[in-house]
Structure 1
Amino acid sequence: MPVAQNYTDLTRQFLKSRLLTDVTSFRGFETEWQHIRDLLSRTAEHGESNSALLLGPRGCGKTTLVSSVLADLLPEKEFFKNTLIVYLNGLIHTDDRSALKSATSQMKLENAVDGKVFGSFAENLAFLLECLKAGDKKKSKSVIFLLEEFDLFCSHHNQTLLYNLFDVAQSAQAPICVLGISARLDVIELLEKRVKSRFSHRQIFLLPKENETEERIMLFKTLLKLTTEKELKELNNNHKPIPLEALQNDEMPLLRRIFDPNDYSFTATWVNQWNKHIDALASNRNVIVVLQNMYNYEVIEGTFKSFLFEIVSQLSEANPWITAESIQLLGQRYDSDDKVLLLCGLSVLELCLLIAMKHHSEIYDRDPFNFEMVLTRYNKFANSSSTMQGIERSVVLKSYEHIKNLELIVPVSGTASKVQKEYQLHRLLLTYGQINQAVMRSQNLPTEISQWAQRCLV
Structure 2
Amino acid sequence: MSKRKSKESHMTVGQCVSQAQSILRKRFCHQELATSPVGLESQHKHLLELLRRTAVHGESNSVLIVGPRGTGKTMLLNYVLKELLQEQDVKSNIMMVNLNGLLQTDDRIALKEITRQLNLENVVGDKVFGSFAENLAFLLEALKKGDRSSSRPVIFVLDEFDLFAHHKNQTLLYNLLDVSQSAQAPVSVVGLTCRLDVLELLEKRVKSRFSHRQIHLLGSMTLAQYLETAASQLSLPTDFPDAKFANDWNDAVKKLCEDKSVEGVLRKHFEGSKDFRSLHTLLLLALSRVSVSSPVIRPADLLESGRCTAADSKANILHGVSILELCLIIAMKHLNDVYEGEPFNFQMVHNVQNILLQISKMTSNKPNESESESPTEFKKFISRKSHSIHNFEKPVVIKAFEHLQQLELIRPVESSSAKIQKDYQLMKLLLDHTQVLEAVQRYPQCPTDVRQWATSAFA
Q: Give TM-score, length-normalised by structure 1.
A: 0.74
Question: Structure 1 105/446 Cα, relative in aligned 2: closer, same or farther at 3 Å?
Answer: closer
2:429 maps to a residue whose letter is L
How many equivalent residue pairs? 414
**How far apart are the structure 2 equivalents of 1:54 and 1:98?**
25
Instruction: Note the alpha carbon deviations across 1:169-224, whole angstroms, 9 max, x for none.
Output: 45666553221234666666665565456545555454556x85544432332122
Question: Structure 1 33/91 Cα, relative in aligned 2: closer, same or farther at 3 Å?
Answer: same
Instruction: Note the alpha carbon deviations across 1:97-148, whole angstroms, 9 max, x for none.
Output: 343244346557xxx364754423535631423776999xx96554321123
Return the offset for 1:294.
Answer: 4.0
1:129 maps to a residue whose letter is A
**How far apart are the structure 1 equivalents of 2:115 and 2:446?**
64
What residue number does 1:128 align with? 136
| SS in structure 1 at match of 2:158 | strand
| Aligned ranges 1:42-441 → 2 under 5 Å | 42-44=53-55, 45=57, 47-57=59-69, 60-76=71-87, 79=90, 83-90=94-101, 93-104=104-115, 106=117, 112=120, 114=122, 117-122=125-130, 125-129=133-137, 142-169=153-180, 175-182=186-193, 191=202, 195=206, 198-200=209-211, 202-206=213-217, 208=219, 212-227=222-237, 232=238, 262=239, 264-267=240-243, 269-296=244-271, 298-362=273-337, 364=339, 366-377=341-352, 379-381=354-356, 383=379, 384-385=381-382, 386-389=384-387, 390-391=390-391, 392-416=393-417, 418-441=419-442
Q: Percent identity?
A: 37
**How far apart are the structure 1 equivalents of 2:327 and 2:205?**
56
Contact 1:408 1:429 in 2 (8 A): yes
Return the offset for 1:24.
Answer: 5.0
Question: Structure 1 435/350 Cα, relative in aligned 2: closer, same or farther at 3 Å?
Answer: same
1:28 maps to a residue whose letter is V
**How far apart are the structure 2 equivalents of 1:74 and 1:278?**
31
Contact 1:281 1:324 in 2 (8 A): yes
**How far apart are the structure 2 equivalents of 1:444 and 1:387?**
16
User: Which of the residues 17, 20, 31 maps onto 2:23?
Assistant: 17
| SS in structure 2 at match of 1:47 | coil
**How far apart are the structure 2 equivalents of 1:346 and 1:301?**
34
**How far apart are the structure 2 equivalents of 1:288 and 1:401?**
44
2:177 maps to a residue whose letter is F
| SS in structure 2 at match of 1:87 | strand
Contact 2:315 2:436 in 1 (8 A): yes
What residue number does 1:33 align with? 44
**How far apart are the structure 1 equivalents of 2:139 and 2:124?**
18
Contact 1:352 1:378 in 2 (8 A): no
Contact 1:369 1:427 in 2 (8 A): yes
Contact 1:86 1:106 in 2 (8 A): yes
Determine which structure has more spread, i.e. the larger CA radius of gyration.
2
Return the offset for 1:407.
Answer: 1.3
**How far apart are the structure 1 equivalents of 2:415 and 2:201?**
26
Contact 2:64 2:193 in 1 (8 A): no
**How far apart are the structure 1 equivalents of 2:138 and 2:10?**
64
Question: Structure 1 18/445 Cα, relative in aligned 2: closer, same or farther at 3 Å?
Answer: closer
Contact 1:15 1:224 in 2 (8 A): no
Say if 2:7 is the partner of 1:6. no
**How far apart are the structure 2 equivalents of 1:223 and 1:312?**
11
Q: CA RMSD in A?
A: 3.9
**How far apart are the structure 2 equivalents of 1:107 and 1:311?**
40
Instruction: Note the alpha carbon deviations across 1:40-70, whole angstroms, 9 max, x for none.
Output: 234444725324244442x554322211001
Q: Which moved more, 1:271-280 or 1:339-348?
A: 271-280
| SS in structure 2 at match of 1:122 | coil
What residue number does 2:4 align with? none
| SS in structure 2 at match of 1:413 | coil
Return the offset for 1:304.
Answer: 3.0
Instruction: Note the alpha carbon deviations across 1:208-257, whole angstroms, 9 max, x for none.
Output: 56x85544432332122334xxxx4xxxxxxxxxxxxxxxxxxxxxxxxx
Question: Structure 1 29/358 Cα, relative in aligned 2: closer, same or farther at 3 Å?
Answer: farther
Question: Structure 1 41/399 Cα, relative in aligned 2: closer, same or farther at 3 Å?
Answer: same
**How far apart are the structure 2 equivalents of 1:457 and 1:431?**
17
Contact 1:23 1:68 in 2 (8 A): no
Return the offset for 1:162.
Answer: 1.7
Return the offset for 1:342.
Answer: 0.2
Question: Structure 1 331/179 Cα, relative in aligned 2: closer, same or farther at 3 Å?
Answer: same
Contact 1:415 1:424 in 2 (8 A): no
